[in-house]
Amino acid sequence: MWNCLNVYKLLLFLLEIDHLYKINPAKRNNLELVEADLSNRGSWETAMKGVEYIIHTASPFPQTIPKNEYNLKLPAVQGTEAIFEATLKHGVKKIVMASSIASVFTGNTHKNFFTSNDWSNLAQSPPYEKSKTLAKKKAWDIYEKNKSKIKMTIILPARLYSSKILFNQQIKINTNIMNQLQYISLNLKGPSFHSNDCVSSDFVLKVMKNDLPGIPKVSFATIDVRDCALTHFSPLDQEKLELTNGKRYLLTEGTYWMYDLIQILKEEFTQKKYKFPSFTVEIKGLLNLAGCMDKQVEIIKLQRRIIYDNTPTMDNMNIRFRHHRSTILEFAYDLISKGCIPNKLPKEAQISAEIIKS
């Protein structure tokens, strides 16, 4: 019975990860996937053996407000502790931790300009933002006590958008771990590698389906997911190991009003028979009626345009962010191609990067 049960669990795990191998079948033999759980410290023992560098991206993101915020806080904080415990035990050289821009500005209503030195106000933070902030404060505390043993970089992405278009960006990694593999080829499909809806697609889906009764005065900080991926690897470059060590980096191309983002879609798709909202509405009524954004978002933070200092990110990581117009149009075409949005495009219209002019 024990053997049968474990074979069954192994088969379930293989089924769960099969779609990851299909992202780039040619690289399957170079990729090893192991099972680990943020709430299970022991699961990281096997995962960390022989590892020199870690990119930690996992943290639960809710579609709705959880009834108990500890369902978010515990795995985020305990997961951070478990990973650091294993990294220190196995002599990992550096860890890159993905957090969220939400851990910077949330609850701070007295200003509209933020740098990577800012932290959210925990007393005024909803559950998700609170979990992100607590997890990264825990990471920072552990790092400060062990900075002679391990290096760390924290990246803080804004709202992610991307397309399915293959992105064959060659990233040169001159670290010891990559002596024989000088280049990593990222073939990133988006928005989520499959046709299922995701949190980041919610805004574009509702706009393209004309499901919004009007346009609220809200703003979004955005970043292309491909740029976000690059910043995960950049701190592992030999030349940037020390430069980016012990620092936090804001990942955003800019902050834009929803009206302006909708205008980009409107200009591109109106002649293709898509309809869009054209008048403004009060934010509170719209959130209750359409549920167009995460329910836990603070009304006050949405109704102001927050600016983030991304200069250190561009300088230290040598990156120039993709323009938001190109990103949001590619994203919309991608959702159409996957059947998430009704396809009203004429036959001669090609869903490809070439038809999108930056």
Q: What pLDDT score was predicted for residue 195?
A: 47
CA distance 317 to 245: 12
Contacts of 144 (CB under 8 A, 6+ apart): none
Q: 0.85 exceeded by the pTM?
A: no
Q: What pLDDT score was predicted for residue 63?
A: 61
Q: What pLDDT score was predicted for residue 300?
A: 39
Q: What pLDDT score was predicted for residue 290?
A: 45
* DSSP strand pairing (151-157 vs 183-186): unpaired
Which two structure tokens, joined as six digits, stand for 321? Answer: 């962010």
Q: What pLDDT score was predicted for residue 323?
A: 93
Could you state, in chain order, the average pLDDT of each consecutive group of 10 residues for the chain (358 residues)?
38 60 76 78 83 80 70 82 90 91 87 93 85 89 94 88 44 34 27 49 85 82 88 92 95 92 94 87 56 43 80 94 91 88 77 46
- E runs forming strands in the chain: 53-56, 94-98, 113-114, 151-157, 159-161, 169-172, 183-186, 219-224, 247-251, 254-257, 307-308
Which two structure tokens, joined as six digits, stand for 154? Answer: 């924290």
Q: What pLDDT score was predicted for residue 254?
A: 93
3-state secondary structure 255-291: EEEHHHHHHHHHHHHHHHCCCCCCCECCHHHHHHHHC
Of 263, 235, 261, 267, which Cα lies nearest the Cα of 249? 235
Q: In what order do the strands lie in the sheet with 247-251?
A: 53-56, 94-98, 151-157, 247-251
